[in-house]
Amino acid sequence: MIITDNLITSFLRTRSDTEEICAPLQIEDYVIQPIVDVSPPKWHLGHTTWFFEEFILSKYVPGFERFHPEYAYVFNSYYESVGKRVIRTDRGNLSRPTVSEVYEYRDYITSHLQTFLEENDDPKIRELVEIGIHHEKQHQELLITDIKFILGNNPLFPKYNDTFSENPGFDDDQISGYSTVEEGVYEIGYEGNKFCYDNELGRHKVFLREYTIANALVTNKEYLEFIEDKGYENSLLWHAEAWDWIHTDNIKAPLYWHKIDEQYHQYTLQGLKTIDYTAPVTHISFYEAFAFAQWKGERLPTEFEWETAQSLFKWGIRWEWTESAYSPYPNYKKAPGALGEYNGKFMVNQKVLRGGSVATPRDHTRPTYRNFFHPHLRWQFTGLRLVKDK
């Protein structure tokens, strides 16, 4: 159990980190929602704040006064109760509260929670705060990917800043070749006494065959070979639903790739650039990762293979698609009440990603961390690592 001072420090740092991420934005950038998967930055700022207000302050602080009676309605992502008004609250349709009001809301809640924590060391509260911190760190990553989508789909291609590197240190980290894991029964899932999500439990045994796994992620150069070999035109490489998707959405390359004057460019958080072919490919869907592996004659790892092998390679700059569907572990127990919706209710029609990305907050991920998205989504910093069978 971490001690109080550290919890408060951690809470305050998380709160300021979130705001730091938004510092380069113009007010206009906070407001829009270009696709349903991308939320307005303003909403992320409010929603992470509402979490502390709803699950801690309003429940445990006697006489606590909410900042605004309607904000629970505006910033709640959970199952809506029956609405009292004839109003659609699509996140991208709300110009109010203003950005400035949302920051006031943040300050109000941050300050009240700090005060409350200074006077209270109930372990149950501390656990809820810790969940809230991790919840906010998840939204820090989404803020970065959502901001990239908002700016990167603007015809003016504005940059986010001049310093965010999408490929930090990959030259050193990426080692060629494959590593082998022997057949056997392995333990999967979180073990330890730090924070983990419910979906990383219960820890359990799996039987794995021998396999070899690539030390390096697939690069832009390799992916370009797939494109130039007409990988997007060969139906035998694709799932049936993927084939429909690439035709309906006219998919011919990773997200953010633009062929300009016969040269591929890529929108990055530093603006539009020619593609760095030695960097690991990113912004691909599970469908594309799978088709690429089929084309290579190899395959994606399962999440169990990935977790078992992860100490053999460097990871953390791309979320790595796995073949595994997102399902509960044996003896998985949902938390009771609304917090129980946190992970369990998404355990269908999604694929597990492992690792972490350049957008993941430092120390937020771990070897047992299970990220998950629908197989067609590409706005996260996704990538892939290949596996071969004996």
Considering only residues 176 to 235 of the shown chain, the ones binding its own copies according to CB under 8 A are 185, 204-207, 209, 235
Specify whether the CB–CB gap between 27 and 99 falls below 8 A.
yes
Give CA separation, 372 vs 214, 221, 303, 356, 366, in Å.
22, 26, 11, 11, 15
Specify whether the CB–CB gap between 189 and 201 falls below 8 A.
yes
Interface with its own copies by CB under 8 A: which range of 164-172, 223-231, 345-353, 359-367? 345-353
With CB under 8 A as the rule, give the number of residues binding its own copies. 71
C-beta closer to its own copies: residue 104 or 173? 104
Site for its own copies in 269-328 (CB under 8 A): 286-287, 290, 299, 323-325, 327-328
Interface with its own copies by CB under 8 A: which range of 26-34, 168-176, 274-282, 363-371? 26-34
Site for its own copies in 151-170 (CB under 8 A): 151, 153-156, 158
How far apart, in whole angstroms, are the C-alpha atoms of residue 212 and residue 56?
Answer: 47
**Least distance from its own copies to the Cβ atom of residue 124, Å:** 20
Under rule CB under 8 A, residue 97 binds its own copies: yes
**Least distance from its own copies to the Cβ atom of residue 243, Å:** 7
For residues 118-141, one letter each, b for 16 or more C-beta atoms within 10 angstroms of the residue's C-beta and e for the rest, the string is eeeeeeebbebbbbbbbbbbbbbb
**Least distance from its own copies to the Cβ atom of residue 114, Å:** 27
C-beta closer to its own copies: residue 254 or 355? 254
Interacting residues of 149 by C-beta distance below 8 A, sequence separation 6+: 34, 35, 38, 379
Under rule CB under 8 A, residue 32 binds its own copies: yes
For residues 296-329, one letter each, b for 16 or more C-beta atoms within 10 angstroms of the residue's C-beta and e for the rest, the string is bebbbbbbbbbbbbbeebbbbbbbbbbbbebeeb
Interface with its own copies by CB under 8 A: which range of 24-32, 47-55, 223-231, 311-319? 24-32
